Structures are given as C-alpha cells and as structure tokens.
C-alpha cells in the first residue's frame, strides 16, 4: 500500500498549514498539541516562551515566575494524569484543555505548593479547587484562530484517512513509510516498549523519524534520535521527512551496533557498522551509503531463527520420545516384577501342598 495522490495533496496542505502556524509564532516544533497549548497559555497569562533547553518549564512571566504548561485534547472530561514534573523548576503548572479542533475548553492554573509530588492528577472531582482562566478575556486575532482551526481540520482528516494513528504525525508517517518499504506489521499498541514493528518472520524493528529541511530550526546537524536506550528491537530504521512530509531518506542498521544510544544523532546513518540505505538521502550531511537489496543480515537472522526453532523442535521431540521410552521401560519393569512375584507365590503354594500331602499320608 502506498499513499494516493489525494493523500499526498492532503499532506502538502497540512505542511503548508503548519508552516503558517510557525510563521505566526503559534508553534516552533512538530509537537503540535503541546505547542498550541503553550501558545494559548502565553496569550492568557502574558508569558514569554522559554528556550527549548529548559525542559523543566516552558514560559516565564514578567515577575520571573516560571510556568510548566501541559495540553490535552478532551471530549469534555478533565481527567489528566501528569508524570515527570520537576516541582523545583517552576512556580505554576498551567493545564490547557482543547477539543479535537483546538477550540479552548478550559485553562487551569495550579500553584506548585498544591502539587504534592512529581506525579499529579487532575480530574472532574478536584479540578474546581484550582483557578480557571476566563476564556472570554483571551485576546487572539481571529485570523490566527482561523489558521489554527484549519490546521486542526487537516489534522483530523489525516487521522480519518489512517495516515496517522496518533498525535505524533511525524513518527506515524515515518512508520508508515518504513512498514511499506519492508512489508512490516506495525504494533497496534502505540505504547509498546522496545519495538514498533515486526516482519513475517518475527524480526523486530524500532523506527525513528525526523523532519528535516532547509530552515533555521530543521537543518541543524546536531539533531538527536532519542529513546534508543533499552530497546529490544533487533534493527533500527531511521526515516527523514521533507517539508511536504515526503520521505527524504531511510536507513536500516543493527540496533546492537549503535555506539552511543544515550545521545545518538542523525549522523549514525553515516557510520554505524552494518547500516544499509533504503531510500537515497536528499540531505547533504546524511550519506546515502550502501544500498539495501532485501537480503543479507535480515535473511541471515531469519534463517538463524528458523534453525533455532528447528533445533528446539528436534530437542522437544527427542525429549518426548525419551519420556515415552522411559514410561515403556517402566511398564516392562513393572510387568517383570509382577511376573517374579507370581512365580514366588506359585512356588510357595507348591511347598505348602507338598507339606500337607506328607502330613496326611505319613
């Protein structure tokens, strides 16, 4: 299966829409829900967004108070479990609730002293304890609201078309391209740890995707590939997307050969032992390298797995036959013991009869 012309047009329109939000300052990365939530929070509380390296907080007010912002798509329910908060790094937590079209539903402001631990849960039962922002007071130009709404419509069309399966559009599209190229079956559980897909022989794959094109925020050669530590997948597939969300490069490599998984960069496609190219690179600093031709290591692993499976079957069959033979031998032994006992009883009866005969006729 491949994208249709209509799908590609939809992706291009979505790319244009996301670029418009970028130019308006609504977003700065491809983490769309979080970025739009931060935009709403900054507009509501007159905040300045922090540098992206400040992972403990997202924005700062004029008084110097630090704000951590979380955003959630809601259907009118306000249950939200937030983990990994670093309480010492912010003074306020702001939670922004939107519907699937990014219409604001609620903005809640929570002082850090009301948060007992780094794991915090909001629900319909406790949310009224905290301060709500009056949404009527928020001042966002109607043109910006319309751009966000159009973006959301395109986003939901992509979900409806099953082009993406979550709010992680870049990752989902990369997974689609990789699955299509290698005929993989994607894991249905998006939270499945350690792997994203398997082939028909059970070989496992982790898929990482980055959107890279000629712009100040995307051409950086220091871009990292996070989340590689502790992965169980046998192979890593790296996918790059261009501005139109088309595949601009794809590589496959043995996961065990990645030298520094804690801080891997995109350039691992240039120098990892055993790396093969699936789609030629359109990015200058990422080499195309040796072409993947559909054989080699993966087929070797498949054969190895089949051999291991066959060996297990042989061992299992031998063990089964051994058990059966052992039972049969036990049965034979048991019959032999019975036969011996019968002989002894017969001999004893003969002796007794002989003694009685002697006594009677002597």
Residue 269 predicted with pLDDT over 80: yes
Q: Which pLDDT value is given to residue 187?
A: 85
Tell me which of 106-110, 183-187, 307-311 is least confident.
Answer: 307-311
Whether 5-156 and 167-294 share one fold: the answer is: yes
Tell me which of 111-125, 282-296, 307-321 is least confident.
Answer: 307-321
Give the pLDDT mean for 256-262: 90
Give the whole-angstrom CA distance, residue 66 versus residue 57: 6
Could you name the CATH architecture of 167-294? 3-Layer(aba) Sandwich (3.40)
Residue 145 predicted with pLDDT over 90: yes
Predicted confidence (pLDDT) per residue in 303-346, tens digit: 656 665 566 665 566 666 656 555 555 444 434 334 345 566 76
Q: What is the mean pLDDT of the chain?
A: 84
Give the pLDDT mean for 198-219: 81
Give the pLDDT mean for 95-100: 96
pTM over 0.75: no
Give the pLDDT mean for 257-279: 93
Residue 16 predicted with pLDDT over 50: yes
Predicted confidence (pLDDT) per residue in 33-90, tens digit: 999 999 999 999 999 998 765 567 999 999 999 999 999 999 888 999 999 999 999 9
Give the pLDDT mean for 232-244: 92
Residue 192 predicted with pLDDT over 60: no
Report for 4-13, 253-262, 289-298, 315-324: range of highest mean pLDDT: 253-262
Q: Which pLDDT value is given to residue 210?
A: 92
Give the pLDDT mean for 117-125: 92
Nearest to 139 by CA among 99, 104, 91: 104
Residue 361 predicted with pLDDT over 90: no
Predicted confidence (pLDDT) per residue in 168-178, tens digit: 889 999 998 99
Q: Which pLDDT value is given to residue 352?
A: 79
List the domain boundaries for the chain.
5-156, 167-294
CATH number of 5-156: 3.40.210
Radius of gyration of the chain (CA): 34
């Amino acid at each position: 299966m491949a994208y249709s012309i209509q799908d590609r047009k939809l992706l291009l329109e979505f790319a244009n829409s996301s670029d418009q939000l970028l130019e308006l300052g609504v977003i700065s990365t491809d983490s769309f829900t979080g970025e739009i939530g931060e935009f709403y929070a900054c507009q509501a509380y007159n905040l300045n967004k922090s540098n992206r390296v400040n992972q403990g907080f997202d924005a700062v007010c004029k008084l110097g108070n630090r704000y951590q912002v979380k955003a959630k798509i809601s259907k009118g329910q306000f249950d939200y479990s937030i983990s990994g908060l670093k309480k010492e790094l912010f003074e306020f937590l702001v939670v922004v609730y939107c519907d699937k079209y990014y219409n604001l539903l609620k903005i809640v402001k929570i002082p850090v002293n009301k948060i007992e631990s780094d794991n915090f849960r909001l629900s319909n039962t406790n949310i009224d304890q905290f301060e709500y922002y009056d949404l009527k007071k928020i001042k966002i130009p109607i043109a910006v609201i319309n751009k966000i709404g159009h973006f959301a419509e395109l986003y939901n069309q992509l979900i409806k078309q099953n082009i993406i399966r979550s709010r992680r559009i870049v990752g989902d599209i990369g997974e689609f391209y990789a699955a299509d190229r290698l005929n993989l079956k994607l894991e249905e559980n998006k939270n499945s740890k350690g792997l994203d897909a398997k082939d028909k022989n059970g070989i496992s794959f982790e898929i990482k995707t980055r959107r890279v094109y000629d712009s100040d925020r995307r051409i950086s050669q220091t871009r990292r590939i996070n989340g590689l530590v502790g992965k169980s997948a046998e192979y890593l597939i790296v996918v790059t997307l261009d501005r139109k969300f088309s595949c601009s490069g794809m590589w496959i490599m043995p996961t065990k050969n990645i030298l520094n998984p804690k801080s891997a960069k995109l350039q691992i496609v240039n120098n990892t032992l055993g790396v093969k190219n699936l789609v030629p690179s359109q990015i200058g600093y990422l080499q195309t390298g040796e072409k993947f031709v559909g054989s080699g290591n993966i087929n070797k692993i498949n054969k190895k797995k089949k051999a291991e499976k066959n060996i297990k079957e042989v061992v299992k069959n031998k063990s089964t036959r051994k058990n059966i033979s052992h039972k049969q031998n036990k049965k034979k032994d048991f019959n032999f013991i019975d036969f011996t006992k019968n002989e002894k009883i017969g001999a004893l009866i003969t002796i007794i009869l002989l003694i009685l005969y002697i006594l009677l006729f002597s």
